[in-house]
């Protein structure tokens, strides 16, 4: 493995809420509330969680598309958040993003050729002919006909549009790509193709991915390590194998138990969480998961958990944020043993 490429320390993104007669700041939406992680070069970090847990916001903060309230993001040693405009633009060549909605993220008034040429235009790379050639190469690389350059996004299907989005992201040969739910808007058969494309590109170009998703079965195929987020905090982070085999945090356990199994003969034990996700404006005290946790105890309401190594491990390979991890025994998820891991 290569060295650490991306390092995030205590990132917080609080969106202000204004209200009252004088439009003062009366509160904040704590979208990201103290996230620390590290991604090594060449690996894929999966970032999972429910809708609204802050994963998309985190992804955008990593690229400084939102300016975080506090914390640091270090890319290759450089503090991304402190860079000036010129340096930031140069850095943007190395960090790119694939967006969730393949239609919204492409400007409907541009032809596909123009959309893919824009990164080269912005950074003034090559002559006009060279740029056109590169666009044709990009289209071929993602499995589309280069003649599609003159067509408009709405003339393509959803999966093809996502391929165009991927082509745009790899145009500048970045080192890190943040994939913000790239397959959530596609149907299952296309999802597999896109994921295979992403994996091929990773091998070929030596890319590092931060793969944001809410679908654990998708992340299983893609990620080397997985971080599970809840209400703006990471509650568990481990390599994929360990996470699926022995999750420590009750939330992770419930998520994994909820993965549908395409075999009607297998009966799975349902782990149902009570209640709804709390609001990020008023997160609960102590462990933010305690209102829904089946193992909640008195101290869970008071103490705020930190990410600590899982019981039984020493180094930082498997981190979790449950206060009672050593005491509780999560029911084994037998059926997962039958399935092929990565």
According to the 3-state scheme, what is the secondary structure of the chain? CCCEEEEEEEEEEEEEEEECCCCEEEEEEEEEEEEEEEEECCCEEEEECCCCCCHHHHHHHHCCCCCCCEEEEEECCEEHHHCCHHHHHHHHCCEEEECCCCCCCCCCCCCHHHHHHHHHHHCCCCCHHHHHHHHHHHHHHCCCCHHHHHCCHHHCCHHHHHHHHHHHHHCCCCCEEEEECCCCCCCHHHHHHHHHHHHHHHHHHCCEEEEEECCHHHHHHHCCEEEEEECCEEEEEEEHHHHHHCCCCHHHHHHHHCCCCCCCCCCCCCCCCCCCCCCCCCCCCCCCCCCCCCCCCHHHHCCCCCCEECCCCCCCCCEECCCCCCCCCCCCCHHHHHCCCC
Identity of the residue, 95 or 240, whose beta carbon is nearer to another protein in the bound complex: 95
Stretch that binds another protein, among 107-115, 129-137, 232-240, 250-258 (CB under 8 A): 107-115
Q: Contacting another protein (CB under 8 A), which of 92, 161, 225, 249?
A: 92
Contacting another protein within 197-256 (CB under 8 A): none
- Smallest separation, CB 152 to another protein (Å): 5
Give yes or no for residue 101 binding another protein (CB under 8 A).
yes
Stretch that binds another protein, among 4-12, 111-119, 283-291, 313-321 (CB under 8 A): 111-119
Give yes or no for residue 109 binding another protein (CB under 8 A).
yes
Binding footprint of another protein, residue count (CB under 8 A): 30
Give yes or no for residue 145 binding another protein (CB under 8 A).
no
Give yes or no for residue 76 binding another protein (CB under 8 A).
no
Give yes or no for residue 44 binding another protein (CB under 8 A).
no
Binding mask 155-194 for another protein (x = CB under 8 A): x---------x--x---x----------------------
Q: Contacting another protein (CB under 8 A), which of 23, 154, 203, 314?
A: 154
Cβ(116)–Cβ(168) under 8 Å? yes
Q: Contacting another protein (CB under 8 A), which of 14, 30, 55, 60?
A: 60
Give yes or no for residue 119 binding another protein (CB under 8 A).
yes
Identity of the residue, 104 or 285, whose beta carbon is nearer to another protein in the bound complex: 104
Contacting another protein within 3-32 (CB under 8 A): none
- Chain positions contacting another protein, by CB under 8 A: 60, 63, 65, 88-90, 92-93, 96-97, 99, 101, 104-109, 111, 118-119, 122-123, 150, 152, 154-155, 165, 168, 172
């Amino acid at each position: 493995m290569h060295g650490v490429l991306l390092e995030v320390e205590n990132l917080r993104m609080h969106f202000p809420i204004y209200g009252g007669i004088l439009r003062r700041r009366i509160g904040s939406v704590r979208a990201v509330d103290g996230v620390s992680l590290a991604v090594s070069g060449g690996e894929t970090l999966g970032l999972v969680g429910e809708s609204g847990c802050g994963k998309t916001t985190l992804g955008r903060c990593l690229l400084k598309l939102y300016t975080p309230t506090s914390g640091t993001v270090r890319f290759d040693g450089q503090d991304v958040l402190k860079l000036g405009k010129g340096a930031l633009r140069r850095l943007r060549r190395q960090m790119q993003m694939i967006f969730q909605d393949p239609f919204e993220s492409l400007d409907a008034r541009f032809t596909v050729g123009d959309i893919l040429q824009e990164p080269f235009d912005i950074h003034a790379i090559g002559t006009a002919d060279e740029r056109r050639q590169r666009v044709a190469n990009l289209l071929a690389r993602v499995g589309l006909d280069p003649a599609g350059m003159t067509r408009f996004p709405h003339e393509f299907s959803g999966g093809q549009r996502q391929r165009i989005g991927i082509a745009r992201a790899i145009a500048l040969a970045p080192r890190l790509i943040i994939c913000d739910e790239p397959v959530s808007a596609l149907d299952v058969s296309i999802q597999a193709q896109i994921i295979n494309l992403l994996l091929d590109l990773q091998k070929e170009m030596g890319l590092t991915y931060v793969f944001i998703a809410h679908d654990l079965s998708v992340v299983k195929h893609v990620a080397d390590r997985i971080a599970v987020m809840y209400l703006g905090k990471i509650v568990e982070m481990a390599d994929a194998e360990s996470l699926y085999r022995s999750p420590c945090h009750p939330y992770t356990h419930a998520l994994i138990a909820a993965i549908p199994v395409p075999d009607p003969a297998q009966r799975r034990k349902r782990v149902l969480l009570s209640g709804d996700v709390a609001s990020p404006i008023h997160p609960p005290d102590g462990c933010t998961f305690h209102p829904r946790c089946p193992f909640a105890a008195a101290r869970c309401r008071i103490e705020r958990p930190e990410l600590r190594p899982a019981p039984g491990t020493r180094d930082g390979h498997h981190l979790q944020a449950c206060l009672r991890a050593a005491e509780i025994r999560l029911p084994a998820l037998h059926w997962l043993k039958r399935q092929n891991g990565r």
